[in-house]
Amino acid sequence: MLHVIADGEIAGALALADEVRPESAEAVRDLHARGVRVAMVTGDARNVADAVASRLGVDEVFAEVRPDDKDSVVRDLQGRGHTVAMVGDGVNDAPALARADVGVAIGAGTDVAIESAGVVLASDDPRGVLSVRTLSVAAYRKMVQNLVWAAGYNVVAVPLAAGVLAPVGFVLPPAVGAVLMSLSTVVVALNAQLLRRVPLRPGA
């Protein structure tokens, strides 16, 4: 805040503030819709941080945090039993990115932040964090589906190929077993290809 004083009295004032991107509010809202709590860690003054957090709907604010204390904030959240995904782009964010369960670096950030993170966003759009989570959930679901299919196939096909039903006159020919094994691989691969249909573009 800059004040202009004339004749001992305030004649005017000028206030400057960072503009909050509308994409940030959308990202926080969508994360809340998926049951994710959002915390903000910043070195800004408490009143500034609280004002921004109020506009975005952030759940918890850590303000006036020194650069070397961001790592401690992540450790504190983990100590409370939270799984922490840290998003950052600066040199001061690197230790926190490395300590977090998932470190997400902004692609336009510093090299040290990118090297410390496990995931790097191609752009500076905060909604990319939601895309990362969406892809992770979808990929995990596909892994479980393929595991269930592969395990179920082996539980049924292997005993048949071994002749478990031979006493009742049913034997699975080796050639048929080979075809079924190849078919199982094809099914798993095709199921994985369905990940291409997951909408990942921000705002999609």
Residue 176, in any domain of the structure: yes
For residue 204, pLDDT over 60 is answered with no
Q: Are residues 16 and 115 in the same domain?
A: yes
Q: How many domains does the chain have?
A: 2
Give yes or no: residues 109 and 138 share one domain.
no
- Looking at the structure, do residues 45 and 109 belong to the same domain, yes or no? yes
Compute how many other C-beta atoms are within 10 angstroms of the C-beta atom of residue 42.
16
Q: 89 with 115, same domain? A: yes
Indicate whether 181 belongs to any domain: yes
Tokens of 34: 């998926």
Separation of alpha carbons 31 and 18, rounded Å: 23
The rounded Cα 198 to chain-centroid distance in angstroms is 15
167 domain-assigned: yes
> What is the spatial distance between Cα 112 and Cα 94, in angstroms, rounded to a whole number?
6
| Residue 4 pLDDT | 72
- What pTM was computed for the model? 0.73
Provide, rounded to the nearest whole percent, the portion of the chain with pLDDT above 70: 95
Same domain, 82 and 102: yes
- Terminal alpha carbon distance of the chain: 39
Q: Is the domain of 107 the same as that of 180?
A: no
Residue 6 within a domain:
no
Long-range contacts of 3-7 (CB under 8 A, 24+ apart): none
Instruction: Identify the CA nearest to 45 among candidates 64, 60, 68.
Output: 64
Q: Are 107 and 121 a contacting pair, CB within 8 Å?
A: yes
Question: What would the mean pLDDT of 4-10 be, rounded to a whole number?
Answer: 75
Check residue 20 and give its pLDDT. 81
Predicted pLDDT at 97? 93
> Which range of residues forms the domain containing residue 177?
131-197
Please check whether residue 75 lies inside any domain of the structure. Answer: yes
Mean pLDDT of 141-169: 82
In this structure, the number of other CB atoms found within 10 A of the CB of residue 162 comes to 12
* Token pair recorded at residue 32: 């809340």
Domain of 69, CATH number, reads 3.40.50.1000
Q: Residue 171: is its pLDDT beyond 80?
A: no
Q: Judge whether residue 129 has pLDDT over 60.
A: yes
137 shares its domain with 114: no
Residue 164 lies in a domain: yes
**Which is higher by pLDDT, 181 or 45?**
45
State the Cα–Cα distance between residues 136 and 200, nearest whole angstrom: 11
**Given strand 119-121, what is the order of strands in its sheet?**
85-88, 102-106, 119-121
Asked if residue 31 and residue 16 are part of one domain, the reply reads: yes
190: which residues sit within 8 A by CB, 6+ positions away?
A: none
Among 124, 151, 172, the domain-final residue is 124
Stretch 169-179: mean pLDDT: 77
Position 54 confidence tier, pLDDT thresholds 50, 70, 90: very high
Mean pLDDT of the chain: 86
The model's pLDDT over 93-126, given as tens digits with 9 standing for 90+, comes to: 999 999 999 999 987 777 888 889 999 988 888 8
Last residue in a domain, options 124, 143, 173: 124
pLDDT at site 135 = 92
Task: From 104, 124, 144, give the residue that closes a domain.
Answer: 124
- Beta-bridged to residue 2, according to DSSP, are 14
In a domain, 62, yes or no: yes
Mean pLDDT of 23-45: 93
Statement to judge: residues 35 and 111 lie in one domain: yes
Shared domain for 101 and 86, answered yes or no, is yes
